[in-house]
Chain A
Amino acid sequence: MSRRIAIVGGGLASLVAYATLRKGGLEPADIAVFGTDLDPAADFRRRAGAIRQRAMRSESDGHAAAASWPGLAVRSALRRRDPAPLVATLFDRYHPTVGEFLDHLAGVRERTAWDESFVRERIRRVRAVEGGFELDGHGVFPHVLLAPGHPGLERPAELAGDPRAVHAYEPHDYADRVTVVGAGMAAATEWLNALAAGSSVVSVRRREPERRPLNLPRPLFTRRGPASFHRTGVPQRVALLRSWSSPSYPCGRAWDEPLEDARRSGRFSVVPELNGAEQIICATGFHRGFRHDPLLAKLVADHGLETAEDWIVLAPDSTVPGLSDTERTLALAGVPGQWAFPAADTLAGAKYAARRFLQRVRRCPTR
């Protein structure tokens, strides 16, 4: 294979990276994208459909295109010939619908010729070799971006094998009495879904969710936040990442009023522990940590990479220290990249890793 750049993973972070590389002047023939589903939006579509998500939590710049501008609000305003999205985005109130977002992803996929670079293979092992990285017999690539996505759905251990339990991101309907475990965005969406379906809802949570518009405080999405984050020592950084991983969902009447109405009529309650219920929806997100991802776990074991609890220690530009130099690059994007960028599991985080990966590729004399 003559391609010199590999993206391992076929989801949104990979699409963002691919679009960024293409914007940086690389051709489809230069890049191989290894994934299991040709559609980079497949996982997102499935999960959003499962929780009946209608609008994105992200805002205008939560998109997969390489450049921040034009954002989704501008695109929507132009398409609808309506300035309302522009006004909304001035106040950080513009949230694209899931449909708009999926259309946008399809457009990026088409414009960037994603399909031309796609290789339907699951990469199970990445090994550093002379001149780059060997990918499971698919050749040696000087520059590799790993974007393996979330390593599977997280379920409470006590619900293993319980026929009443279903994960929020799996297809499901709502029984008359529903217990929702968790307190993040998916849980809040499920509370409202179940109430709208006529169910009574019990929210099981051990701590109160934080209320904030995005899943991390806004300054963490730019250098202003990570600059101080990068200056922290290992224990402090682990503590920060743990604190930022606490569940949260946005503020606003659209969330509060249905819950308050239901609480008053006795259809919504909060308890700390599970009890008898017809249906248990686990809105508990994903497994956390590189050990749950076989590819990353092998990478760490094979090369003795430095880790800190659940995280692989990365350089500030999301590359793996010791395996990246002037002639080769190994970078992590998506949720495994949190050591470099706390909001790595967002579109902004995917761009952070992708843009720095592009810079490394451009600087490399053997590109």
Chain B
Amino acid sequence: MSYTLRGRLESRLAAALAPLLAAAGLALVLREWWPFALAALMVGVGVVADLAYDRLVAYQPGWLALPLGAAELGLVMLAARATDVNASLVAALAFFVGSWLLAQVLGHAVFPLLRLTYGEDGGELGRLGVVSVTAVFVVVVGGGAIAWSTQPPTIRLEAGVYDGPLVLDHAQKLVGEPGTIVRGGIVVTADDVVVRDLTVVAEENGIEVDDAKNVVLERVEISGATLDGINVRRSSVRIRDCLIHSPADEYAQGIDISFSIHRAPSLVEGCVIVGGYEGIVTHSALVEIRENRVRDTSLRGIAITEMSMGTARENDVRNGLGVGIYCGDYSHCLIERNAVSGTRPDLASSNGTRMGYGILATFGAEATLRENQLTDNHRRTRAFADARIHRVD
């Protein structure tokens, strides 16, 4: 069809109205903003795309809807990432695909039946279009205003040294400027907290998150921990682009996410962890650990254990002592496209499971391995004590 600009926009927004209302309803039920934010992003990306299509696509054959839809999906995902929309990937994909299919059905079948001149009017919907555009505008602006007014406050810390521990017991964004240092750690006990762009000099834990959901820790640097760089209990967090180094105790760990199996999955992404007992460890948690770099650990580089369900993907684990990546104690682990190298045997230990394994599964764990690169490890992979390793390379 050869759409007019008005036709594209009216068709787009009329088709988006039902998903937008559904997302608003879902947001109310879940008490989460992400469905609405995702739907609003979808509408926004679509409108911008329509402005471009109007100049670039004089005639749109049916097949073109597919690549254009895929491109819009990519843009929506980028926008969601950039704006920190906390949506699960599967839910977001399902929502987008469902909305896209609905738009196709409406555009090809329902609108032409409702309005005989739909095709020759270039997708314009007349009064229905005006009503739809108005309704979408009202829902987006109204919902956006409510979302904006209920957003947690942002607290900006100027450069300097602050004595901790800072206790964040209500929703807020704590954002530091370059040169902001908190001594004594940060404790998060509230939902919807964001901590960003801070350096923390720890005492016991660098950042402790307890019984909180939807917590974001981004671009934090932590040093000097005697227990954990980041300690997460009964919580769901997203930790991105962190740097944890210089532990102050030989048993200190980088990131420990534990006892959170009842929470939404947590994410650890893009972090660098140097030294410590375990680099990233989970106990009884749902986790995705991806694209991290872990160096020089003395027990294990990455450990998914105690009935956790987790994915370790595209991590780079080097020069660990004993074990590179560990799946233990009835956990279910997907370990794929990781690079594990230089794992040394722990000769001081009498434990046979610590003899320099790149990837190890033990105690009834189920580990699925795919396309991992194991180089210069003392031993490659092994399953102990009723654990099983499935290779799907």
Contact = CB atoms under 8 A, between A and B. Distances in A.
A89 interface: yes
B148 interface: no
B116 A23 contact: yes
Nearest to A88: B62
B2 A355 contact: no
B119 interface: yes
A351 B2 CA distance: 16
- Centre residue among B58, B116, B120 by max chain A CB count within 10 A: B120
Contacts, number: 67
A221 B1 CA distance: 9
A221 B112 contact: no
Contacts of A218: 2, 58-59
B61 A91 contact: yes
Interface residues of A, number: 27
A20 B116 contact: yes
Contacts of B118: 68
Interface in A47-67: 61, 66-67
Interface string A1-45: 000000000000000000010011000000000000000000000
A224 interface: yes
Interface in B57-87: 58-59, 61-63
Contacts of A221: 2, 120
16 contacts: A20-B116, A67-B112, A67-B113, A69-B108, A70-B109, A218-B58, A219-B58, A219-B59, A222-B4, A223-B121, A223-B122, A223-B124, A224-B4, A227-B4, A352-B117, A355-B116
B322 interface: no
Contacts of A91: 61-63
B7 interface: yes
B34 interface: no
A208 to B, nearest CB: 23
Contacts of B121: 222-223
Contacts of B3: 222, 224
Contact of B61 (A24, A92, A358): A92
Contact of B119 (A89, A219, A222, A358): A222
Contacts of B61: 90-92
A358 B124 CA distance: 18
A66 B59 CA distance: 23
A223 B4 CA distance: 7
B116 A67 contact: yes
A225 interface: yes
A66 B121 CA distance: 15
List 9 A-B pairs, minimum CB-CB distance, nearest first: A90-B62, A68-B112, A219-B2, A224-B2, A218-B59, A223-B122, A222-B2, A69-B112, A222-B122
Interface string A225-268: 10100000000000000000000000000000000000000000
Interface in B84-121: 108-109, 112-113, 116-121
Given A67-B113, A219-B59, A222-B120, 9 more contacts: A66-B116, A68-B116, A69-B113, A218-B2, A218-B58, A222-B122, A223-B4, A224-B58, A227-B4
A201 interface: no
A320 interface: no
A23 B116 CA distance: 9
A355 B108 CA distance: 18
A218 B113 CA distance: 22
B74 to A, nearest CB: 21
A285 B4 CA distance: 33
A348 interface: yes
A358 to B, nearest CB: 8
Contacts of B109: 69-70
Contact count band on B: 20 to 34
Interface in B17-69: 58-59, 61-63
A61 B109 CA distance: 12
Contacts of B59: 218-219
Nearest to B61: A92
Contacts of A223: 4, 7, 120-122, 124
Contacts of A90: 61-63
A92 B113 CA distance: 21
A219 B3 CA distance: 8
B118 to A, nearest CB: 7
A223 B116 CA distance: 14
A24 to B, nearest CB: 8
Contacts of A92: 61-62
B63 A61 contact: no
A222 B120 CA distance: 4
Contacts of B63: 90-91
A346 to B, nearest CB: 11
B370 to A, nearest CB: 34
Contact of A224 (B62, B113, B116, B122): B122
A352 B117 CA distance: 7
A63 to B, nearest CB: 12
Nearest to B66: A90
A142 B116 CA distance: 23
Contacts of A66: 116
B120 A348 contact: yes
A225 B108 CA distance: 20
Nearest to A358: B116
A61 B112 CA distance: 11
A57 B78 CA distance: 43
B1 to A, nearest CB: 6
Contact of A351 (B1, B108, B120): B120
- Centre residue among B2, B112, B116 by max chain A CB count within 10 A: B116
Contacts of B112: 67-69
Contacts of B124: 223
Interface in A308-355: 348, 351-352, 355
- Centre residue among B7, B119, B124 by max chain A CB count within 10 A: B119
Nearest to B113: A67
Contacts of A227: 4
Nearest to A227: B4
A24 B117 CA distance: 12
A35 to B, nearest CB: 23
B119 to A, nearest CB: 5
B122 to A, nearest CB: 4
A356 B108 CA distance: 21
Given A69-B108, A223-B4, A355 B62 contact: no
